[in-house]
Amino acid sequence: MLERSRKINPGAAVPLRADRRRQRRFPRLPDGNMASDRSDSAAPLLAGCALWKQGAEARIYRGKFLGRAAVVKHRFPKRYRHPQLDEKLTRRRTVQEARAALRCRKAGISVPVVYFVDYTTHCIFMEDLVGSITVRDHIVTTQQSGDNPESLGGLADEMGRILAKMHDEDVIHGDLTTSNMLLRNGSEGPGADLVLIDFGLSYTSALPEDKGVDMYVLEKAFLSTHPNTESLFQQLLNSYTAASKKAPAVIKKLDEVRLRGRKRSMVG
């Protein structure tokens, strides 16, 4: 019995199997798609707000929410991604950020109060910490003033305690830097009101490996931004270890991640 033969136009491109699967999962949308619609729908919410900063993932606005000073984080559409994929990723990150902030706040960790979340436009309205400064600016100012870096010991201890408490709640920040830590009203020293911000890359995990990577990201950012502060970061780690029973497993994973990082830099 002869097999049926399909007529194929020699000039037409035959789609690959992977392309066909992708088309079924993310069908092509008409021009004027949801990306532009979502961007336009955020305009009413952002009315009266002034653009403050912009990153690769979001724009930050300052304005008012029910009469209170507020910061608005708007995850704008990424036009280089398929609209449905972009919508799915953006919604998941918005949800994760709001949940991580709420989870930390329930644990007694200072984070900005979340006033309102719009999952349609992916806008998060948060407390505006007026008068606060970043830990990065505080350390840089202290170094430039000629003060002994050991005077920052109280701040390092507080950072270690806060991060240990966060990891005990199985919250992985994902982007730990001194720019993502604020000192409310310029407070410093022991008992400083340290506020963690920007949970845009956060997720939940109980694995020591993930927590070790989180600390490794902080270590690389800390030592590259603030030279000659190795003893200060070690003090942070000592405080982290003393504040959590789970810390030894995390520090062990941190050492393993360091070794992997050194091997990668040696190989190139």
Which of the residues 175, 193, 198, 210 is marked catalytic? 175
pLDDT at 84 over 70: yes
Structure confidence at residue 260 (pLDDT): 86
pLDDT confidence of residue 55: 86
Cβ-defined contacts of 220-223 (< 8 Å, 24+): 220/261, 221/176, 221/177, 221/178, 222/177, 222/178
- 175 is an active site residue: yes
> pLDDT over 70 for what percent of the chain?
78
Report the distance separating Cα 149 and Cα 139, nearest Å.
8
- The region of weakest confidence among 8-17, 43-52, 130-139, 233-242 is 8-17
Residue 215 confidence (pLDDT): 97
**pLDDT-based confidence at 39, cuts 50/70/90?**
low
